[in-house]
Amino acid sequence: MNWKNKKVFISGGAGVIGTALVNKLLANGAIIFVGDLKPRPYEFPKGVIYRMGDLNYITKEEIEYFSPEIFFHLAATFERSLETKDFWDENFHHNIQLTHHLISCVKDLKTLKKIIFASSYLVYNPKLYSFEYPKENPVKLKETDDIMPRNLCGAAKLYNELELLFWNNFRPNYEVVIARIFRVYGRNSRDVISRWIRDLIDNKEITLYRKEGKFDFIFADDVAEGLIRLAESQFSGVVNLGSGCSRKIEEIIKILSRYFPKMKVKEIDSNIPFEASEADIDKLKKIANWQPGIKLEEGIPILIDFYKKNKYVSYQPLSINILVTSISNKVPLLTAVRQALANIGNCGKIFGADMNKDCIGKYFVDKFWTCPPLKKLKISELIDYCKENSISYIIPTRDEDLLYFAKHKKHLERNGIKVMVSEYKSIYNCIDKLKFFRVLNKKGFPVIKTSDKIEEIEAKRYVVKERFGAGSRNIGLNLSKSEAILHASKLKNPVFQPFIKGEEFSVDLYVTQNKEIKGVIVRKREVVIDGESKITYTVKNKEIEQICSEVALYLNLYGHIVFQVIQDQKINYFLLECNPRFGGASTLSLSAGLDSFYWFLLESIGEDIGRYPFIFTPKKLVRYPADKIFII
């Protein structure tokens, strides 16, 4: 196969096998898209497209946008020989559910030619190769041998195999290779060889049990090479991928002693069975015209050299605690934040704050804080609360909150707390509708005429609204001049605008930390009940997108921004207002591709979201009441 410019999607590409596979494919000229829970490996060149996060939340559109020809599915989770009770949910989420989701995403791709799945020899019946006493001759496991997974991980792998073969019956346009991989060891791994080497480098004692056990150890570089050769073949089906030659555990100890003559080994008793297995690789050799060649005597010194030069950093799931302010009844927003946290594989909690101790939102967060009014909340008190609860991110959701957090943004950042909010001046220029008009009108943007004096507005009909805060609050629409004056008398700080007949649009966009527009989505309301949009759908309008993008950059905004735009009967556009925060129906834009909360979190942990594509998918939102029931 000519890999030059061939598009390859690799799940779990930052793992032990994945990094070796990426390096080999890059050397062959492939274009690679990697998805993994881990942060982007520093050694990956810029050419590697990387998506950090839980692939259970990757969308079909993201993969389709890349249009892979080859899919290497390596992503999985496992424990050591004895699985703990905590592995119950982890196995389902990262093995069974993940593979099901990824197959659902790729099964109908027209570009896809081949899927290579990293299965495991754990699917074989352990009675074939596990014994009460040490066995001199290992059992050669064949692809046709009895199947009976010995643990949850093996069971998940077998189910994954069956799902892949199931869909391959209905989608014969691509080939499926199921590689049952034996005992992998390699760089930056949790395997026993790597663990022992790291401990010996640190002059620690290593623990040994069942030294007579025989395993088929295969170096990760050989696994990667084998997967590539299987991808290059015309083969479809199940094949073993191992060295084909088992080695005793005590042999590993002897090899290590050559490099660590003063090593200390503590041998302990164990009641686990003695394993004696190795892969029958006759099928592999026939298909790939190749067999693994890196023996333990070669692989171990490679790892010793690697670990002496590189400190091992075990992957720890993110544990980000985030505070959402003024949660009120903003259940869709809270749901979207939880989705974003799950997307990056976060194990942390959502804290919700509101002055109303009985607000509906408290039932949709992990911990609720009945907070004082911001006017009475000292920034030191807020910081103390965040530190006590390990909160490192804040999302303000109310106009009044924005000014408070913008004012203290830099102080919060110095204390390790990042806020999804623009600078103070930028916020003020949006919240003050008169200021909004004057700033943009001076620059020539098509902003609707606004004044605190009705005499300055030339119109037959008027709109009257509060100068500060949400524009829909106490708004007067399509009023005569006398009606407008009367309505204004009931407001605190009224401003006047001409009433324009036409179509209204809401525009969601995200501005990155580098002041770049990440994406723009235009929405149109279809059904409005009591002033609230119940049915909203996305539309494409390049002119509106361009206007709002230019204004957002000119106002130096950051994060999720919402504009209101009206189109008159002559197809002229007018900016009505800007809310520099997440809006009521902005969840539609999230679903349509504007993944603001996910992008905010990625940027906050140091990821370059310029490498993450904005993929627009037209969608419609229908808002309806729903129930949530608790056990009490």
Phi, psi of 126 (to 5 degrees): -65, -20
Residue 311 pLDDT grade (very low, low, confident, very high; cuts 50, 70, 90): confident
Residue 505 pLDDT grade (very low, low, confident, very high; cuts 50, 70, 90): very high
pLDDT of residue 282: 97
Q: What's the N-to-C CA distance of the chain in angstroms? A: 61
Q: Per-residue pLDDT tens for 20-66?
A: 999 999 999 999 999 999 999 988 998 999 999 999 999 999 999 99
d(CA 233, CA 70): 12
Residue 472 pLDDT grade (very low, low, confident, very high; cuts 50, 70, 90): low
pLDDT of residue 471: 56
- Given a cut of 90, whether residue 136 has pLDDT beyond it is no
What contacts 524, CB < 8 A, 6 or more positions away?
A: 503, 504, 505, 506, 536, 537, 538, 539
Long-range contacts, 285-291 (Cβ 8 Å, 24+): 287/229, 287/230, 287/233, 287/235, 287/239, 288/226, 288/229, 288/230, 288/232, 288/233, 289/229, 290/225, 290/226, 290/229, 291/244
Long-range contacts, 306-314 (Cβ 8 Å, 24+): 306/187, 306/188, 307/194, 307/197, 307/198, 307/201, 308/201, 310/187, 310/188, 312/188, 312/194, 312/198, 313/188, 314/190
Token representation of residue 189: 């791994």
pLDDT of residue 529: 77
pLDDT of residue 534: 86
Token representation of residue 486: 């009367």
pLDDT of residue 81: 67
d(CA 440, CA 445): 5
Mutual angle of helices 296-309 and 249-259, in 10-degree steps: 50
Q: Are 63 and 109 in contact (CB under 8 A)?
A: yes
pTM of the model: 0.92
- Given a cut of 60, whether residue 281 has pLDDT beyond it is yes
Token representation of residue 527: 């059904």
Q: Per-residue pLDDT tens for 96-114?
A: 999 999 999 999 999 999 9
Residue 245 pLDDT grade (very low, low, confident, very high; cuts 50, 70, 90): very high
Between 392 and 472, residue with greater pLDDT: 392
d(CA 78, CA 90): 9
Residue 584 pLDDT grade (very low, low, confident, very high; cuts 50, 70, 90): confident
Nearest C-alpha neighbor of 74 from the set 149, 164, 158, 13: 13
Phi, psi of 430 (to 5 degrees): -95, -45
Between 273 and 508, residue with greater pLDDT: 508
User: What value does the mean pLDDT take over residues 563-570?
Assistant: 94
Residue 181 pLDDT grade (very low, low, confident, very high; cuts 50, 70, 90): very high
Please give the C-alpha separations between residue 132 and each of 148, 209, 218, in angstroms, as whole numbers. 18, 14, 25
pLDDT of residue 171: 83
Residue 170 pLDDT grade (very low, low, confident, very high; cuts 50, 70, 90): confident
- Given a cut of 60, whether residue 294 has pLDDT beyond it is yes
- 113-117, 290-294, 609-613 — which is least confidently predicted? 609-613
- Given a cut of 70, whether residue 118 has pLDDT beyond it is yes
pLDDT of residue 533: 78
Q: Per-residue pLDDT tens for 319-329?
A: 999 999 999 99
**Mean pLDDT of the residues in the chain:** 94
- Given a cut of 90, whether residue 200 has pLDDT beyond it is yes
User: What value does the mean pLDDT take over residues 225-245?
Assistant: 96
Q: Per-residue pLDDT tens for 359-417?
A: 999 999 999 999 999 999 999 999 999 999 999 999 999 989 999 999 999 999 999 99
d(CA 220, CA 16): 7
Rg (CA), the chain: 30
- Given a cut of 90, whether residue 244 has pLDDT beyond it is yes
pLDDT of residue 343: 94
Residue 316 pLDDT grade (very low, low, confident, very high; cuts 50, 70, 90): confident
Residue 270 pLDDT grade (very low, low, confident, very high; cuts 50, 70, 90): confident
Q: Per-residue pLDDT tens for 201-210?
A: 999 999 988 8
Phi, psi of 133 (to 5 degrees): -125, 160
Q: Would you call 442 helix, strand, or coil by DSSP?
A: helix
